[in-house]
Amino acid sequence: MPLVTMRQLLDEAAAGGYGVAAFNVNNLEQIQGIMEAAQETQSPVIVQASRGARKYAGDHFLYHMMLAAAETYPDIPVALHQDHGNSPQTCKSAIELGFTSVMMDGSLGEDAKTPLSFEDNVSVTKEVVDMAHAVGVTVEGELGTLGGMEDGVGSGEICLTDPAQAEEFVERTGVDALAVAIGTSHGAYKFSREPDGDILAMEIIEDIHRRLPDTHIVMHGSSSVPADIVERVKAAGGEVDAGFGVPISAIQRGIEHGVRKVNIDTDGRLAITAFMREHFRDEPDDWDPRGPGKAARAGQKFICMQRMQELGMAGHAGDYEPLSLAQMTERYAAGVRSTV
């Protein structure tokens, strides 16, 4: 099946009461690991690429690997999403390349570091919504800022989302999905203790969902940073400064209150690192790159299998027929938003 829009995946998830994981990718093994897990669990899935990923793999390599994934697994609905677009130009280039969904992260300026004003965020996000919806592509916006810095992305400061502002933001921009800041950060170090309501503000999600029941909420920085995986990395000679991640129970609570997209990058990275380090440790005479490559693929798949079950997306791949970008274009033009 062709690449599907994220709007349809999230609408279906809302109707079915589950969440869809959005896994970050940079290379072939990550894409294959995700798709193998999606096939085995029969899950629809979002595959997302940051600007850093596009630069690392190269736009055409990345896009064509994703086309190969869709061709190899014709029964699995897959959306290809631009993660943390820093400008309309980045989103435009993703759309021209063939991405079916883009994030305009106007919570930060083009340097992906300096917080942007509410008005500037509205203006830059609206510009992307107009451009993307004109060709049927889904748009995610962000209000509030996450903590942490990854590959130069992030202000380092947490600024929680104001639910009243979220209402105005969605109204004025017309985004399909809204990323919210509830205290999480990107990377392996999110919390210094098991998070409770003081440091992970799940009630913000509940408030936003009450105000905007038809807007799909996105949780960024949602890796759980599994302690056993971190231990495996360390036992195999690695060093990783890891704290506590987002508990699966918190993600599940979010899903009960309108969270439909759950961003997971770090957990995949950690599992790949553990599996590859163990491979090199246990098979020191292996100098065939396929050995560590297979370990990487298995690491990514291991995490995806778990999350697909935990988020409830497993078993939903065959629930619906994909709408084309042309059909989505017509629907947006007619003012129809939901696909269900």
Q: Which residues bind ligand G3H (CB under 6 A)?
A: 24, 50, 52-53, 83-84, 150-151, 153, 186, 265
Residue given tokens 């085995």 in the structure block: 40
β-pairing, 153-156 vs 148-150, is antiparallel
Q: Which is nearer to ligand G3H, 103 or 122 (CB)?
A: 103
Q: Which is nearer to ligand G3H, 85 or 136 (CB)?
A: 85
Binds 52, which of ligand G3H, Zn ion, ligand 13P, none (CB < 5 to 8 A, cut-off by type)? Answer: ligand G3H
Contact between residue 245 and residue 223 where contact means Cβ atoms under 8 Å apart: yes
Q: Does 186 bind ligand 13P (CB under 6 A)?
A: yes
Of residues 11, 59, 75, 83, which has the active-site annotation? 83
* Residues in Cβ contact with 285 at an 8 Å cutoff, skipping those fewer than 6 apart: none
Tokens at 116, concatenated? 């942007």
Total residues contacting ligand 13P (rule CB under 6 A)?
Answer: 13
- Shorter beta-carbon distance to ligand G3H: residue 162 or 265: 265
Tell me: does residue 161 bind ligand 13P (CB under 6 A). no
* Residue 220 found at the interface with Zn ion (CB under 5 A): yes
236 to 265, contacts with Zn ion by CB under 5 A? 263
Stretch that binds ligand 13P, among 86-94, 126-134, 215-223, 293-301 (CB under 6 A): 215-223
On whether the CB atoms of residues 75 and 321 are closer than 8 A, the answer is no
- Rounded to the nearest whole angstrom, what is the least distance from the CB of residue 53 to ligand 13P in the complex? 10
Q: Which of 266, 300, 306, 339 binds ligand 13P (CB under 6 A)?
A: 266
Smallest distance, ligand G3H to C-beta of residue 189, A: 13
Q: Which is nearer to ligand 13P, 173 or 266 (CB)?
A: 266
Residue 59 catalytic?
Answer: no
Which of the choices ligand 13P, Zn ion, ligand G3H, none does residue 223 contact, using the CB cut-off of 5 to 8 A by kind?
ligand 13P
Residue with Cβ nearer ligand 13P (220 or 297): 220
The answer to whether the beta carbons of residues 236 and 217 sit under 8 Å apart is no
> Minimal CA–CA distance to 236: which of 269, 277, 273, 268?
277
Q: How far apart are CA 246 and CA 224, in angstroms?
A: 5
3-state secondary structure of 296: helix
d(CA 234, CA 220): 26
Using CB atoms within 10 A of its CB, is residue 215 exposed (0-12), middle (13-18) or buried (19+)? Answer: buried
* Footprint (CB under 6 A) of ligand 13P, residues 59-98: 83-84
Question: Residue for token digits 């291991």?
Answer: 302
Please choose, from the candidates 215, 192, 252, 208, the residue with its C-alpha nearest in 3D space to the C-alpha of residue 10. Answer: 215
**Alpha helices (H) along 58-117:** 59-72, 88-97
Query: Which residues contact ligand 13P by CB under 6 A?
Result: 24, 83-84, 186-187, 220-223, 263-266
Instruction: Report the catalytic residues.
Output: 83
Which residues in this chain contact Zn ion in the complex, by CB under 5 A? 220, 263
